[in-house]
Structure 1
Amino acid sequence: MNSSLLPFVWFLAILCLIPLALWLLKRTPMGGSLNPQGQMRVVAQLPLSPNQKLLTVEVGQGEHRRWLVLGVTAQQISTLHELPPQAEAPGRGGINSTGGPGDSGNSFAQMLGKRLRGGSNDGAQDAS
């Protein structure tokens, strides 16, 4: 092989190995820490204004699971409260639980919204 062509061949070989190495890393236990899939999910969200919302997020797994109530604005995310995971009603939960006016029953987002607005919370107990 021509000596001036050898560096170019090595360059192409290294370029081809980078995606292969990343693909392999993604499928190893060491790469699992880079992708926290299953470690966090949005339980409920309550839009307060176009740039503000309340989110209830479940973090952790197993015995270490926690629900965090987060206040989200365009500038920051603040942890408002931390509580143990609650049982969700069948057919509810996930990112589409917005506690809209058509929902029957009291979702966590609805109860929290009522409490923040100063309304009564029928059947709810103090979390603090």
Structure 2
Amino acid sequence: MLQNLTPVLVLLAVLVGIAFALKWARRRLPGAAGHSGPPMQLLSQLSLGPQQRVVTMQIGQGEDRVCLVLGVSPGSVNTLHQMKMPADLPESPIATPASGFAARLAQLTQPPKPHA
């Protein structure tokens, strides 16, 4: 009986080893685990309740940058607003406590200043 069980245990051990090797490779190899879409960056987030947030994200690079305002809840992510990023903003803005969601949204929705 034990002789019939040994090949099954060896096969099981090999399969578990392959699963761990694939898991390791997925985390280590570039591009294997990440998303293959446009670059994304979290700009800011505002908590509305224990499980609800409003999040602003920058999607894309260069002239194709878009700012998304997302409503995030446990069961869904909804696009609340989408706007093209102004060209005069830096390529990768960083949100700080002094420039939270309200300040960032006000900055993006202000009309452009006339040039002198």
TM-score, with structure 1 as normaliser: 0.55
What count of residue pairs does the alignment treat as equivalent? 102
Whole-Å separation in 2 of the counterparts to 1:76 and 1:3: 50
Whole-Å separation in 2 of the counterparts to 1:43 and 1:58: 7
Question: Where does residue 71 of structure 1 map in the other structure?
Answer: 71
Q: Deviations over 1:58-117 (max 9, x none)?
A: 1234554321012345564321221223425x9x624855258xxxxxx323x28xxxxx
Whole-Å separation in 2 of the counterparts to 1:44 and 1:13: 45
Question: RMSD between aligned alpha carbons?
Answer: 3.6
- Say yes or no: does 1:108 pair with 2:94: no
Provide structure 2 residue ranges, at least 5 long, that are not aligned to the other structure: none
Provide structure 1 residue ranges, at least 5 long, that are not aligned to the other structure: 101-106, 113-120
In 2 relative to 1, CA 5–99 (structure 1 residues): closer, same or farther, beyond 3 Å?
Answer: closer
Deviation at 1:18, TM superposition (A): 0.8
Q: Deviations over 1:28-52 (max 9, x none)?
A: 64x2xx42398322112234x3255
- Contact 2:56-2:101 within 8 A present in 1 as well: no
Please list, as runs of the form range in 1=range in 2, the aligned pairs for 1:50-89 lying within 5 A after superposition: 50-51=49-50, 52-62=52-62, 64-73=64-73, 76-86=76-86, 87-88=89-90
* 1:7 partner letter: V
* 1:71 partner letter: G
Question: Where does residue 15 of structure 1 map in the other structure?
Answer: 16
- Contact 1:66-1:84 within 8 A present in 2 as well: yes
In 2 relative to 1, CA 82–44 (structure 1 residues): closer, same or farther, beyond 3 Å?
Answer: same
| Larger RCO, structure (CA 8 Å, separation 6 or more) | 1
In 2 relative to 1, CA 25–63 (structure 1 residues): closer, same or farther, beyond 3 Å?
Answer: farther
* 2:20 partner letter: P
Identity %: 21
In 2 relative to 1, CA 8–39 (structure 1 residues): closer, same or farther, beyond 3 Å?
Answer: same
TM-score, with structure 2 as normaliser: 0.59
